Amino acid sequence: MAGLSALPRYRGRFAPSPTGPLHFGSLVAAVGSYLDARTQGGEWLVRMEDVDRPRNVPGAAEQILATLEAFGFAWDGPVLWQSQRDAAYGEALDALRQCRLAYPCACSRKEIADSATRPAVDGGLAYPGTCRGGLPTGRTERAWRLRVDATETAFVDRLQGRVTQFLEPDVGDFVLRRADGLFAYQLAVVVDDAAQGITDIVRGADLLDSTPRQIWLQQCLGFPTPRYAHLPVAANAAGEKLSKQTLAPALESGRAAAELIRALRFLGQPAPEELGRARPVDVWAWAREHWQCAAIPRQRSISLVA
């Protein structure tokens, strides 16, 4: 792998997936990561995580960027598009294969469901290791997986505290390249964070359980591990994370100032009522001056009051 250049003191990022327009939950993550970077004199990058091409909605990426601009976000450098980085992901997979850390897997989802003996921490099924010792006779590879072990993987999250996971029982060997030939999110995000020199990742707590996998992969590839802060996720009245699947409404550019204030208050920042009648630039000026990371609620999810 190519050597990494010297990292800046702080470089953060916001990485939406173009599966639909931005909603309030997306805004919370964007506001938290943006202010954490700007109040520490850091850079803030935007990455379009469109590696999962079948899920991408035509025009959604452009709509996301337009919404960010309308809400007053300003990012450093060009937008990075994962759909243009297959060569970098392939290079990383080749490096893992050469070190015998990655192996081919012939298992279908049904076969895994039939043979798995325990659930994974992310709600799926822990891979039982069927192909770890080699492909079964007469079978061909479908996917590529990364070997894990039973030791503890731990890190201290700036908001959620110490997080631990035992990857082998909790997740199992996880996918790096899928059966459809596309690279998996875990590989893409780790390669891109290293390539962009990301030092600090501020994102929703719905991704907290995947962080130990990313740290393990960073270690396997010889990449530095960023600092992490996982923000509480915005949930609906039923406790479901706001998303396209739970019919979260799209952000309206005409309500930018009001929605920014709502996101700030969600994150524990006491934005005054009169800011709601101001311009987004005025909301950002207040937010930069008064931002307090220590005020962010230390919980994984907060349900919105109807």
- Could you give the residue numbers annotated as active site? 244
Long-range contacts, stretch 97-103, CB < 8 angstroms, 24+ apart: 97/144, 99/220, 100/147, 101/146, 101/147, 101/220, 102/144, 102/145, 102/146, 102/147, 102/176, 103/131, 103/132, 103/134, 103/144, 103/145, 103/147, 103/173
Contact call for residues 194 and 259 (beta carbons, < 8 A): no
Phi first, then psi, for residue 157 (nearest 5°) are -80, 140
Distance of CA 184 to the CA centre of its chain: 12
Contact call for residues 248 and 223 (beta carbons, < 8 A): no
| Residues contacting 78, CB < 8 A, separation 6+ | none
| Residues contacting 181, CB < 8 A, separation 6+ | none
Contact call for residues 53 and 20 (beta carbons, < 8 A): no
d(CA 52, CA 276): 37
d(CA 244, CA 297): 24
- One-letter amino acid of 158: R
Furthest-apart CA atoms within the chain: distance in Å: 70
Q: How many C-beta atoms surround the C-beta of residue 282 within 10 A?
A: 15
Phi first, then psi, for residue 221 (nearest 5°) are -95, -5
- One-letter amino acid of 123: G
Q: How many C-beta atoms surround the C-beta of residue 204 within 10 A?
A: 21
